[in-house]
Amino acid sequence: MQPAAVPTDRNSDIASAVVATMRQLGVLGLPRNYEIFYEALSGSNHELSLAVVSLSNRPTQQDLDHIGRTFFPQNHGPAIVEHAREMVAKELEDIASLLRSERTHIEKYGRILDETSSGLSNRSLLSQDLLQKIAGAMSAATSSTLDHNRQVASTLSEKTAELESVKSKLEEYKRLADTDPLTQIWNRRAFDKEITRIYNSNRGILFNALILADIDRFKDINDRYGHPVGDRIIQIVAEIFQTSIRADMFVARTGGEEFALIVEGASEDATYQLAERIRVLIEQTPFTSSQTGMNYGTVTVSMGICMASEADSPEDLYSKADRALYRSKVSGRNRVTRHSTMAGRAGKGWLLYKKD
């Protein structure tokens, strides 16, 4: 697929290019389709752009929805959940119908046993011929019941497997909904849930800390080298975060070039040392193109730290860590600041700023 060329006037002309490209490919003008092509043609998500370019010349709605579920799972959640609910309801109704059939069959088998028992109790009427007929009827009824039971067991097994498949799909949706598609680490949605969890217990408040990080002068990187390079730098920074922490630590991409790390079971000094180690690793990492060998220069991050015990709520914790991050920015960037060391840290003037 070759999308239409993107005009140079970024804001209004991208919208025109999106409409032209969708019309050229025969794509329905649905809001969810527009979102896919707008993000792809704006170049803000390189992986999404590659997925759109790889589409056929006449992509099906199913192909487009697959891309939508991958890169915008939060917008497809209701449909996925509703589809799963319908599937579960159908499977449960099938199982209920199967159990009703089993009950009817067992009741029929019970009547045969009652009639046989009644015939055997009247010994004066017994004869060899009658006994043979009773034995034959019992054998046939038992064989039929066993066959029916085996069929029911097999069908129940199939239904159980289908329900497990639905469960697996829902778990996969949950993972996608909580995962950042560019970096494959947790996203802002997952972070919001995790930071809230801290304040569900006194232990969480006592033994957790928040580190916020922001790539320095990232807009300049995008303007100079383009969004694909910016995306790759974000991926490398995310990899450094993920490989520098314990497996049980939580790291998320919370914004374009912003990251959050929740540290559990560490003192403020240990948390600072961890942040400082990551900062130095990023500063020392060569950011070059594997294809052209071009060096994009040194990339640095600024960080802010706040202990959960210093804050009254998840929102307060985030605000104070963000305030410390801002102090790192205005103090020269490429440094780590603890909220606890900031003078006059109760002020609110920090809210009105732009990091880069």
Q: Output the six-digit token pair for 302.
A: 């600024």
On whether the CB atoms of residues 18 and 30 are closer than 8 A, the answer is no
Identify whether 164 is a catalytic site residue.
no
Length of the chain: 356
On whether the CB atoms of residues 345 and 307 are closer than 8 A, the answer is no
Distance from C-alpha of 212 to C-alpha of 250, rounded to nearest angstrom = 12
Reduced 3-state DSSP string for 17-80 = HHHHHHHHHCCCCCHHHHHHHHHHHHCCCHHHHHHHHCCCCCCCHHHHHHHHHHHCHHHHHHHH
Distance from C-alpha of 120 to C-alpha of 117, rounded to nearest angstrom = 5
Query: DSSP character for 186?
Result: B
**Dihedral, CA of residue 43, residue 46, residue 49 and residue 51, to nearest 10:** -170
Find the helix packing angle between 61-71 and 31-42, rounded to 10°. 60
Find the helix packing angle between 73-121 and 128-177, rounded to 10°. 170
φ, ψ of residue 180 in degrees (nearest 5) = -75, 120
Residue by residue, DSSP assigns 240-268 as HHHHTS-TTSEEEE-SSSEEEEEEES--H
- Report how many helices (DSSP H) and strands (DSSP E) the chain contains, helices first: 12, 5
Catalytic member of 39, 102, 257, 258 = 257
> Comparing C-alpha atoms, which of 300, 295, 287 is closest to residue 355?
300
> Comparing C-alpha atoms, which of 168, 195, 191, 111 is closest to residue 145?
111
What positions carry a catalytic annotation? 257
